[in-house]
Structure 1
Amino acid sequence: MRKPPFFSKTHCFGIYSSILSEAINLFKFHGIKRLSRPLGRFLLEFNISGIEAIVPVPLSPEGLRRRGFNQSLLLAKAVSDNKNIPLIMDGLLKKTETRPQVGLPAKERARNLKGAFVAAKQFTGKRIMLVDDVMTTGATANECSRQLLKAGASEVVVLTLARAAVL
């Protein structure tokens, strides 16, 4: 890799297609929050030993107002509750509203998110699990991981429900 990502590895439950993509869309875009528990259970299949804190990918204040909830936070809470790992809800903030990532090519996705996130806490020496719903190019996970490492995290591992089939 010419430019390796800031996260050390990723775990994802499945490919973003078929029934999984339909469930994620109902959860995320149609506000069916009760799907957070069953979808969150999918994330419990991974060995995440050694993780010291869970941090969800944040929404911007405007994005949170629009959606009414942070889907990544609900998934992260399901993992935190089950694995008894501290959930740090306000450890990472999305300080600026960005254009939607859907439809943007990989380089533009990275450019769109540059500087959008900031760590609001110090994570000195901690192994962090960053939780999101879907990973496409990894631009969001990479920018969030960069900020967590900048705030002292020793490692960032990414956990998502789904991964895009084709980049």
Structure 2
Amino acid sequence: MVFGHKIVLDQVIRPDELDFIKAINDVSNGEIPEDTKNLILRLQRPLPPGDDPIRLCGRNFDCDIFNACKLMEMDGVSKCYQSIDEDVNKLCSKMCVPKLLHLKIGCPVMLVKNISSALVNGLQGKVVAMKEDSVTVDFENDLVQLGRETFTVYSSIDKKIVDIKFHSFCLSALPFTRHKG
């Protein structure tokens, strides 16, 4: 894969954590001394309680397959919401929301767009109702009815935000797995 641009991360966000900075640099250089190995071992924790903790996958395809299997295992009838794309644009494939969103009552979802100061990207909830043009989600005892949102994408070529007229629900279904990249 060839990129037309480079992104260089050169700012240390936590400059006071020198041992972590050193460990990251050691791993990046492929040379892991004993003190870095010991630090990594000290960071190990048991999995959180529950039958099915969140999994990390190396590829989006693996996440999609695992999540589809989990949805099929759930009781209830699945409903599919298709995005409305007014433009045929290659940037649509870079959207953070799926073109087809499969949901069931009770399935976990995650917001993938900031809607308000309380409804932010990454907030998780459960689907409690589904209609033709809306989904009601329980976010920690706060019932929110969501409709389709218009999404935009940043074009690194044009160096501006491009409105591509992509309308979808700002939800990602079943965050049982996450792509690590």
Instruction: Give the TM-score of the pair, scaled to structure 2.
Output: 0.25
Between Structure 1 and Structure 2, which shows a larger proportion of strand residues? 2
Structure with bigger gyration radius: 2
TM-score norm. by structure 1 comes to 0.26
Pick the structure with more helix per residue.
1
